Copies of this chain bind each other. A is one copy, B any other.
Amino acid sequence: MASIKDVASKAGVSVATVSRVLNNNPRVKSPARARILATIDQLGYQPSGIARNMRSQSVRVIGLVISDIQNPFFTTLVRAVEDVAYENQYTVLLCNSDEDLQKEQLYIDVLSRERVAGAIIVPTGKDACTPLVNARVPVVMVDRTVPDLVADAVVLDNVAGAFAATKHLIELGHRRIGLVGAPTSVSVGRERQRGYEKALRASKLKLDPRLICIGNFKEQGGYQAARALLELDPRPTAILAVNNLMTLGACQAISEKRLRIPKDISVIGFDDMPWFALLTPPLTAVRQPTYEIGIQAARLLFARMQDAARPVETRVLKPELIVRGSTAAPARG
């Protein structure tokens, strides 16, 4: 591949002059400039980003570490981050940690080595981000937080979301509400469970630990947790699933058992999806402003990249309960 030297010698000028033309420095006058542009065209020359990065000691790339590329929630997040990056002429280095601590660790190492300008991270483990933060790389956590890490974050008010959903079920008359929960090792799992428990306590209902089943964040985790709940005797009359894919899995378990929603069992999902409305009945769900979460995280990152000294900030966005047909009063008896 042609380098700036080739262009310079072919055009009969010095590399400095070529560089000036590339960077639109107006000090290069027309005869030289025209000749250089022609030569560039002729050689199909493209300046090496590698060398530019080297020279400038910076890269116009931001890292994005998510935990499940196949989850539409994170996909919307990616979309938002991409949009903001594009506006700022940055590109996105995408890493899928797959809820795997080792993978997360490795990717964060990569981001650090490659000297990305900043990173947006959905943290899976407790300490993975620490090295980045210590190396003064701008970092924004999104969706989840980790305790004791001083970094910007954008998250949902998970407690409020789970509280509202559970309260809705209680108000409909449910007393045995199953939770298809997520691992409490991540903040999302912890907080949504806390919201559920808070609503039960607020209504003076007893917490029955058997009504809480934990699964991984995927379809399969929801399926298994829901199956366990459906085996209970007496069966819960309602289920709250704490993320979108787990909701899908829970619905599958319910449909396998030939139970009807909401007649036999009410269901609330977390994180509304377009197709929730198409199900029969359409699913009641806690909607997150997902795209907005992503946008804010990205903007926060760019703000931090511009000003390392600005105060650390955690933004908490509000969920909204969308009541549709999958929740109703429990059957008598």
Known contacts A72-B72, A219-B274, A278-B279; is-contact A135 B94 (Cβ 8 Å): no
A269-305, CB < 8 A from B: 273-275, 277-280
A107 at the interface (CB under 8 A from B): yes
A278 contacts which chain B residues (CB < 8 A)?
A: 248, 251-252, 255, 279
- In the complex, identify which listed stretch (A41-49, A149-157, A194-202, A226-234) lies at the interface while the others stay far away: A41-49
Contact between B113 and A86 (Cβ–Cβ < 8 Å)?
A: no
A113's partner among B46, B78, B109 (CB-CB below 8 A) is: B46
Kindly supply a per-residue 1/0 record for chain A positions 9-53, scoring 1 wherever the CB is within 8 Å of any chain B CB and 0 otherwise.
Answer: 000000000000000000000000000000000001011111101
Q: How many Å from the CB of A121 to the closest CB on chain B?
A: 15
Bound complex: CA A255 to CA B1 (Å) = 56
Do B70 and A91 touch (CB < 8 A)?
A: no
User: How many identical chains are in the complex?
Assistant: 2
Nearest CB to that of A275 among chain B residues? B275
Contacts of A1 in B (CB 8 A): 115, 135
A44: contacting residue among B51, B114, B134, CB under 8 A = B134
Query: Which of A82, A107, A109 has the most chain B CB atoms inside 10 A of its CB?
Result: A82
Interface flags for A164-195 (1: CB within 8 Å of B; 0: not) read 00000000000000000000000000000000
Report whether B274 and A248 are in contact in the complex, using a CB–CB cutoff of 8 Å. yes
Q: Quick one: closest B residue to A57, CB to CB?
A: B50
Q: What is the CB-to-nearest-CB distance from A19 to chain B, in angstroms, rounded to a whole number?
A: 15
Q: Are A50 and B114 in contact (CB under 8 A)?
A: yes
Q: What are 27 A-B contacts defined by CB distance under 8 Å?
A: A44-B131, A46-B109, A46-B135, A49-B110, A49-B113, A49-B115, A50-B50, A50-B57, A50-B59, A50-B114, A53-B54, A54-B54, A69-B78, A69-B82, A70-B72, A70-B79, A72-B72, A72-B75, A75-B75, A78-B96, A82-B94, A82-B95, A92-B93, A92-B95, A219-B274, A248-B278, A280-B280
Please give 17 more A-B residue pairs, beta carbons under 8 A apart, in addition to A49-B110, A70-B76: A1-B135, A46-B109, A48-B113, A50-B114, A69-B78, A70-B72, A78-B96, A91-B93, A92-B94, A93-B94, A94-B94, A219-B274, A248-B274, A252-B278, A255-B278, A273-B275, A278-B279
What residues of chain A have their CB less than 8 Å away from a CB belonging to chain B? 1, 44, 46-51, 53-54, 57, 59, 61, 69-70, 72, 75-76, 78-79, 82, 86, 91-96, 103, 107, 109-110, 112-115, 131, 134-135, 219, 248, 251-252, 255, 273-275, 277-280
